[in-house]
Each structure stands twice: as C-alpha cells, then as structure tokens.
Amino acid sequence: MNDFTILAGGVTSPMGFSASGIHCGIRKNKDKKDLALIVSNSLCSASAVYTLNKVQGAPIAVTKEHLQNGMAKAVICNSGNANTCNTDGVKKAKATCQALADELKMNANDIIVASTGVIGQPLPLEPIVDGIPLLVSQLGIGPTNGTDAATAIMTTDTVIKEAAVSFIAGGKTCTIGAMAKGSGMIHPNMATMLCFITCDAAVSPAMLQQALSRTVNQTFNMVSVDGDTSTNDMVSILCSGQAGNPEITAPGEDFDQFTGALTALCTHLCRMIAKDGEGATKLLQCTVTYAPSPAIAKAVAKSVITSSLFKAAMFGEDANWGRALCAIGYTPGDFDINKVSVALSSKAGSVLVCQNGSGVDFSEKAASKILAQDEIIISVSLGEGQNSATAWGCDLTYDYVKINGSYRT
C-alpha cells in the first residue's frame, strides 16, 4: 500500500457534500450540539457495516433497509440518546428520515440514520423534527460546517475526530473525508463508535462494500477501549462520483488506490479513538509480527490491548511484561510461546523485556521513562511466520470508572 498523507478536513472535503450540526434539544446542555447532517448534491453509491452485538439500535435496522439498493444521499445522526431497546424505536427512526426527506424534497429511503447515547430511554422525536429546518438551513461546504457535524455526534469524546485524504484514480484527484465519534464501550467488532465517510470518487456499490468491509476489519475492528461491544456501531460511506474518474467496478490499480487511502484515513481515526478512550492517558499500539497466520496475528494483538491487567500496568508506567505474555498465552491459536519476544517503545526509546518466552535483563528506570510517554508501542514477535497485525487501545485509569459510574446521571 502506498503512503497517503492525512489532511486537515472532514466530510465536506470531497466535492458535492455539505454538512451542518446544531443543538436541537435532545441533550440538556444547550452548549452541546446534538443533531448532525451530511448531504450530497447527487445520489451516491453507498455501503455500511454494523455492530455484531445481538442488541442493535433501531436506526441500524432502518439504515440496513434503506441501503439494500446500494444508494443514499444523506446522513442524519443524533447524540444524547441511542434509540435502542425501545418499542417505538424503528417508528421514530423512520419518522426522522421522513421529516428530513420532506425538508430536502428527497426520498426518505435515500437517508442513512444513526443515533448514539444512552440505551433504553425513549427518543424524543419532537426536538429532531422541530430542529430539522434549522439543520438544513445551516448546510454548507466549508470546513467549519464539517466540524459542526463532527461535534454534534460526540458523547463522552473530548476531541473532535475528523480528517481527509486524497488519492489518484483514473488520472483524477479524488478525496475522502470522514468524521467519527468514540471514546467508551469500544471493542473489536466495533464500538460505541460511529464513522461517516464521504468520497467524490466514482465507485460501484459492490466494490464500495468490498473496500469498506476489508478496511474495517483492519482498522475499526482492531480498536478496543474497554472490552464492551456497543449496540449502535456503524461505519457508512457515500461516493458521489464528482471527481470524474472512470467508475471503479473491479479490482485493479484504481481500487487499490481507493482502498489504500480509505485504510490510511480509518487508521488515523482509530488512533484518535483509542487515544481519546474514556479516562485514558496513553495510546497503546500492539504490533504483532512473524505470526503463523493473519488470524493469529490479529487475535494476539487484540488480546494484549484488551487485557485489563496490562492496561492498568501501562497507566502505572510499570513494565510488567508478564501481563502481556499472559494475554498472549491465553489467545486461541496454535503457536509456540517459547518463541515469543516482547519490546516496549515510545519516543523516549525502546527496551526488550522478553525473549523466547522468558524475561531478559533491562533497566526499569529506562522502561519507566519510555512508559511515561502518551503513546506506547508494544512489539510482539511470534517467531514462526510472516504474518502481521496491529491493534490500538488505551490504558485503564481511575477516571474510566468515574465516567462510567455516573454516565446516566
């Protein structure tokens, strides 16, 4: 995969997309935006992937229905209420789409709808319906419009998560923009995580789904904050085709460029999500190399960054490598623990802490300096193959318990 430069920007960076974000009244704090909108000025090829939790938010059911034809034109998302486990949830998600369709004079079936927030509380529909005229009136193509939309989907996030990337397809410069939210209830197979992606390349719905599924498996499904897979996860993408490239309808160089750029962008957002984990002070990246299979490489990387004991050690700046080896050891798969090596590194340096399944002498003082940084890399070599994988997580802190002990109150 080629190197792609991450750019400032967001969902309005590609041609043909406008966005807005307002406070409509779902959230009590009037200073917090709670309703976001993205609109394309033409019908787009579209696809999405969703949480694997058996409990799924009502908007997911509606969006799945709307995307059966692989086409969409708009995205609407509220924060502050997940619209999950409610008997009238689907009805309200459809009513949201219809109210927006009436305002935009479009087909309600061409709308992706999403919600995020507290589970099990009825979604107040009136603030959304009453707020849609203002939401539509504030649509714009500027970067601040994209940021307004990105802000409106945040819950416990402390930073806005948006970015863009460009690539060449068919001799045309194409752009992908995205906004995401996610800070807690985050675990492989996605999280309380939403990501909305826009692109001005022409890509067929079938190839779009293939690219998105492949990318999500390498990126968002490799992020964990707390081991809880949420009910409302969704990653969706709209491609307007306005960059003017010949439509990507089959594997080839253009498809590889598109998929590479999409993966680079989603990797960037994954790192932002993991680093902004609830209460987190450190981004943890576990890279596994020399694994006997891709599945084992992914499983080991996930196992390390989801270990509560290891995450707590990273918070305490304690090079307790035995906890990492323990997490590697209970990972399913056939590999020899006696060939495993582990190193810890950051911008302060690197230290080998385990070789061939056993501890080695290292400076605890040097290790402590390495672990005092806000981004830590855990490098694991399984020593028996050519496969690799990377997962992202964060440390486990006192503040995580404080945040989640009073999430509803």
Task: Indicate the pTM of the whole model.
Answer: 0.89
Instruction: Give the model's confidence band at 407: pLDDT under 50 very low, under 70 low, under 90 confident, else very high.
Output: low
What is the pairing mode between strands 35-50 and 375-381?
unpaired
Question: Using CA atoms, how far apart are residues 42 and 143, in angstroms rounded to an integer?
Answer: 20
Q: What three-state secondary structure class fits 47?
A: strand
> In this predicted model, what pLDDT tens digit does every residue of 125-176 receive, in sequence order?
999 999 999 999 999 999 999 999 999 999 889 999 999 999 999 999 999 9
Instruction: Tell me which residues are annotated as active site.
Output: 192
What is the percentage of the chain residues whose pLDDT exceeds 90?
82
Query: Directed axis angle between helix 125-137 and helix 89-104, to 10°?
Result: 20
Question: Using CA atoms, how far apart are residues 229 and 315, in angstroms rounded to an integer?
Answer: 22
Average pLDDT over residues 285-313: 96
Q: Quick check: 21 pLDDT over 90?
A: yes
Question: Using CA atoms, how far apart are residues 29 and 297, in angstroms rounded to an integer?
Answer: 44
Give the lowest-confidence range in 208-217, 301-310, 380-389, 392-401: 392-401
Contact between residue 156 and residue 184 where contact means Cβ atoms under 8 Å apart:
yes
| DSSP output for 118-178 | ESSS---HHHHHHHHHHHHHT-BSSHHHHHHHHHHT-SS-SS-EEEEEEEEETTEEEEEEE
308 or 278: whose pLDDT is higher?
308
Question: Using CA atoms, how far apart are residues 333 and 156, in angstroms rounded to an integer?
Answer: 36
Give the lowest-confidence range in 75-79, 179-183, 189-193, 296-300: 189-193
pLDDT at 48: 95
Q: Quick check: 189 pLDDT over 70?
A: no
> In this predicted model, what pLDDT tens digit does every residue of 190-215 receive, in sequence order?
445 899 999 999 999 999 999 999 99
Average pLDDT over residues 168-187: 87
| Adjacent-strand bridge partners of 380 | 288, 342
Instruction: Give the model's confidence band at 402: pLDDT under 50 very low, under 70 low, under 90 confident, else very high.
Output: confident
Q: Quick check: 18 pLDDT over 50?
A: yes
Instruction: Give the model's confidence band at 406: pLDDT under 50 very low, under 70 low, under 90 confident, else very high.
Output: low
77 or 117: whose pLDDT is higher?
77
pLDDT at 3: 83
pLDDT at 233: 81
pLDDT at 190: 44
